[in-house]
Amino acid sequence: MAPPLDRRHFLKSLGIGIAAVSLNACGDAASEDTLTAPADFPLGLPLPFAHGVASGDPLADRVILWTRVTHVDPSESPVRVTWEVARDPDLQQIVARGAQDAIAARDWTVKVDVVGLEPATTYHYRFSALGQTSIIGRTRTAPASAVDNLRFAVLSCSSYWSSYWSGLGNLAQRNDLDLVIHCGDYIYDYPDEDELVRARNGDDDTALPDYRDWLDLAELRRRYALWRSDPNLLSAHQQHPWFIVWDNHDIDEDYGNELATPYDGQKSMTTLEQTTQAFWEWTPSRPVRADGSGKFLLVDDGSYPVPEDTRLVYRHLPYGPLADVFGVDTQIGLPGHGLTLDAGHLPTGTPTLYGRPQFEWITRSLRTSHQAEVTWRVVNNQAWFSPADVPASSGLPKLGISRWADYPGERAALCEFLRGDGPDGVAVDGTIFVSGDAHGNLGSDVIESLDVVPDYEPGALLRNPRNGSTPENERAGWIHATTGNTSDWNSRAGSVAVEFAPSSMGRGGADELVKHSNQAWSFAAQVAGARTLESLLAGLNPNMQFIEWVDHGYGIVDLTAERALFEFWWQDKLTPDSPDVLGMQMVTWARDDRMALPTPRYRNQIDPVSLHGMATEETSGTRTSSPAPAFVATPR
Ligand SMILES: [Fe+2]
């Protein structure tokens, strides 16, 4: 997310003084006691597979499987790891198996691109090494042909220190998901001093590497180990394939702790190459080719897929005729990383977040997807893309909620492309930005800016009829009273796409901002302050069809050929095992239907489902699959 100082300056600029049975399924194998972990190392499960299993980047015929061998190996000899994939949770119907060496140079991580799988199929898998077996994981390949329904979870900004991550445990319980999309800030470099919910060591000793910014590659890697010592995150990876892009905290090179430490004042402690290297080692992500084409580096022989250039993360997962899923990178080109991106696709002097190769890739890919009549284009996107600022014509200072406020030229170029004002004149409908970064809940039309779309006219603002996850968060957030449309007037025709940003998995939003302004404020007062802030933002940005900035959790995107439905699921981040609360449901339509009742439907607009007369009951998938066997974690 944007640096905390920016958010606080933003408030000031507004003058807001507000307010398991450890499934060490080891059977009769050698005892775990014969293995030893590095001293005081974060562990979630028995050695050596102490950080569980994970899968990701599924295609129709393959998926990445991940694990790590954790133990002390004085000789640093490679460790032979075998893997097996089956059609059933008991691993009786094996369809693929192989072996790979875990080595120190890759931080003992194992990544296999398992090939030859069937499309739209659930598989279970397990690793074995050193006489031990891992927990059993579940994954699912992408469809190659038509399916009735796809369901994706969406989350971002998952700070271990800020939340008990109940939401991760809850989404692990779902058996109808196709993919978990993480929009970045998967790990954090440092804890926020205003939201210290938990620490591994149970104290605030900032000399400890698990409670402060990392100093070197070893501590960077260890940060991932801390995250994967959490039972809820272990479960969420165990049960679903993930698709992850990074954001600023994942790849931050500099020392920037908010807690006082002996290392304050240090500048660069790690390199960009090290932060991105650790990402590829510890996430179940498939690297792409170094040529900037966004095409995957496909490894068919079971060996470790080594990135040609660790700094490239933008890529594409086809999900059949119903959806294409893209991951973009609008982080690595920011000035702090020291790269100079080619801005040749923009007018001279216009700054770029994408860089020319990526901009050309995403526009080419979106156009190809649209021309192939794929219904939905889902873009895994770090920072709020739709306007969340003050209109330039107002003369007021910028708010700086999203980095896109500083890149209006490139946002305009992408909106022009989607609108069909680009060189080929083809409009691209059905684009859904799923976003993170701002730690607030947002459902928005995507317009270039109010200055460019002056006739954009949604209805008046009303409070959300639903409550949040805590009693204080009554009528959580704001929606518009009507769609503003009639059967012969599309009042929001300037919208070229929709955006769905389901807050953060813990890192603080306006609640934390208000608290920062005055530590004495009660939580109820923090919520009241957040309501003021939300209404101010939504008033300035009528493209925001829903905004709520207190609750935290994850989202569900439920796709059919007719509509995309979005759910905001929240949990009390301060309470372990907090249940899911459904905070808002929104919908966007694949086709215009001016005669639909009770409300006309227009493409590229997002509305609360209540405005379309739809039932406000949680959705579920049209299929379910057997979960991977449960485990009892032993975090330490
Ligand atoms: Fe963040």
Would you list the domain boundaries of the chain? 4-19+145-158+281-612, 32-140
pLDDT of residue 268: 87
Q: What is the pTM of this model?
A: 0.95
193 Cα–ligand 1 center, Å: 14
399 Cα–ligand 1 center, Å: 17
pLDDT at 526 over 60: yes
DSSP 3-state percent helix, strand, coil across the chain (nearest 5):
20, 25, 55
CA 291 – CA 314 distance, rounded (Å) = 12
**Is 268:338 a contact under the CB 8 Å cutoff?**
no
Look-up: residue for tokens 């991105």? Answer: 276
pLDDT at 10 over 70: no
Q: What's the mean pLDDT in 458-483?
A: 94
pLDDT of residue 510: 80
364 Cα–ligand 1 center, Å: 29
Q: What's the mean pLDDT in 112-136?
A: 98
CA 437 – CA 37 distance, rounded (Å) = 35
pLDDT of residue 516: 72
pLDDT of residue 29: 44
329 Cα–ligand 1 center, Å: 14
470 Cα–ligand 1 center, Å: 22
438 Cα–ligand 1 center, Å: 6
**Percentage, residues of the chain above pLDDT 90:** 80
**Is 381:328 a contact under the CB 8 Å cutoff?**
yes
pLDDT at 19 over 60: no
311 Cα–ligand 1 center, Å: 19
* DSSP code per residue over 363-406: HHHHHHHHHTT-SEEEEEEEE--S--S--GGG-PPP--SSGGGG
pLDDT of residue 169: 98
Q: For residue 398, count other CB atoms closer than 10 A to its CB.
A: 12
pLDDT at 85 over 70: yes
Which range is least confidently modeled, 28-42, 242-256, 467-481?
Answer: 28-42
159 Cα–ligand 1 center, Å: 8
Q: What's the mean pLDDT in 499-519?
A: 85
* pLDDT top residue among 207 and 384: 384
pLDDT at 110 over 60: yes
554 Cα–ligand 1 center, Å: 13
pLDDT of residue 7: 42
* pLDDT top residue among 227 and 21: 227
pLDDT of residue 33: 65
Q: What's the mean pLDDT in 121-138?
A: 98
503 Cα–ligand 1 center, Å: 9
Task: Return the closest-CA partner of residue 75 out of 103, 99, 50, 49.
Answer: 103
206 Cα–ligand 1 center, Å: 21
pLDDT at 3 over 50: no
* pLDDT top residue among 3 and 158: 158
3-state secondary structure of 479: strand
pLDDT of residue 23: 31
125 Cα–ligand 1 center, Å: 32
* pLDDT top residue among 401 and 562: 562
341 Cα–ligand 1 center, Å: 23
CA 622 – CA 636 distance, rounded (Å) = 39
Which residues does residue 28 pair with via DSSP β-bridges, in sequence order? none
Would you put residue 309 in left (φ > 0), alpha (ψ -120 to 50) or beta? beta
458 Cα–ligand 1 center, Å: 29
**Is 250:185 a contact under the CB 8 Å cutoff?**
yes
3-state secondary structure of 615: coil
Give 32-140's CATH code, choosing from 2.60.40.380, 3.40.1190.20, 3.40.309.10, 3.40.50.1820. 2.60.40.380
Q: What's the mean pLDDT in 582-608?
A: 97
Burial class (CB in 10 A: 0-12, 13-18, 19+), 422: middle
Q: Convert the pLDDT of each residue in 196-240 to its tens digit.
A: 999 997 767 888 899 999 999 999 999 999 999 999 999 999 999
Q: Which two tokens stand for residue 585?
A: 């449901």
632 Cα–ligand 1 center, Å: 29
Q: Convert the pLDDT of each residue in 237-270 to its tens digit.
A: 999 999 999 999 999 999 999 999 999 988 889 9
390 Cα–ligand 1 center, Å: 22
pLDDT at 634 over 90: no
pLDDT at 13 over 60: no
CATH code for the domain defined by 4-19+145-158+281-612: 3.60.21
What residue type is 299 in one-letter code? Answer: V
Residue environment code for 24-57, b if the CB has 16+ CB neighbours within 10 A, otherwise e: bbeeeeeebeebebeeebbbbbbbbbbbbbbbbb
Please report, in angstroms and rounded to a whole number, the separation of the first and last CA atoms in the chain: 29
Helix runs in 228-355, H state only: 231-239, 272-282
Q: Convert the pLDDT of each residue in 269-279 to its tens digit.
A: 999 999 999 99
3-state secondary structure of 105: helix
**Is 13:397 a contact under the CB 8 Å cutoff?**
yes
pLDDT of residue 31: 57
150-155 and 241-244 beta bridge pairing: unpaired
65 Cα–ligand 1 center, Å: 26
Q: What's the mean pLDDT in 311-328?
A: 98
CA 392 – CA 369 distance, rounded (Å) = 33
pLDDT at 525 over 50: yes
pLDDT of residue 404: 95
* DSSP code per residue over 475-529: S-SEEESS---BTTB-TTTT--EEEEEE--SBS--HHHHHHHH-TT--HHHHHHH
157 Cα–ligand 1 center, Å: 4
pLDDT of residue 293: 95
443 Cα–ligand 1 center, Å: 18
pLDDT of residue 2: 42
Which range is least confidently modeled, 178-187, 327-336, 502-511?
Answer: 502-511
Task: Return the closest-CA partner of residue 603 out of 403, 318, 377.
Answer: 377
* pLDDT top residue among 380 and 32: 380
Confidence of residue 394 (pLDDT cuts 50, 70, 90): confident
pLDDT at 26 over 60: no
